[in-house]
Copies of this chain bind each other. A is one copy, B any other.
């Protein structure tokens, strides 16, 4: 069994953003030399997500509007978490809807993806450095 670990550094200038990290994950898989296995990709911060969906800017706008409706940022006083001095309780909620991690199959040395699958980093409380873990496991 082989394994390979990488940490991607993310820093978005906006509070909320969605960034396509598929090429960076594919590169980590290639470097690992693993032909058959799994790759785990997860946000290491709890106000961010890693998810798989379509690389279409209209859809990303729809996600943003929808998440804001399900878990509004303001008024920040509606959340008890924000009594700690934070203003990001909504980001913790949004991240649960979008998910922390994805696990992707590696077949024949490549990400075994359907036609439209792309891996995104979803940021809900940005403007600072965060990390994404890529762990490749297999043979």
Interface size on A, residues (CB 8 A): 59
Residues in B with CB closer than 8 Å to A98 are 96
CB–CB B107/A135 < 8 A: yes
For residue A73, CB closer than 8 A to chain B, the reply is no
A131 to B113, CA, bound (A): 10
For residue A110, CB closer than 8 A to chain B, the reply is no
**Copies of chain A in the complex:** 3
CB–CB B135/A40 < 8 A: no
Residues in B with CB closer than 8 Å to A89 are 58-59, 62
A interface residue numbers (CB < 8 A to B): 1, 3, 5, 36-38, 40, 42-46, 51-54, 56, 58-59, 61-63, 66, 70-71, 79-84, 89, 92-93, 95-105, 107, 112-117, 130-131, 133, 135, 137-139
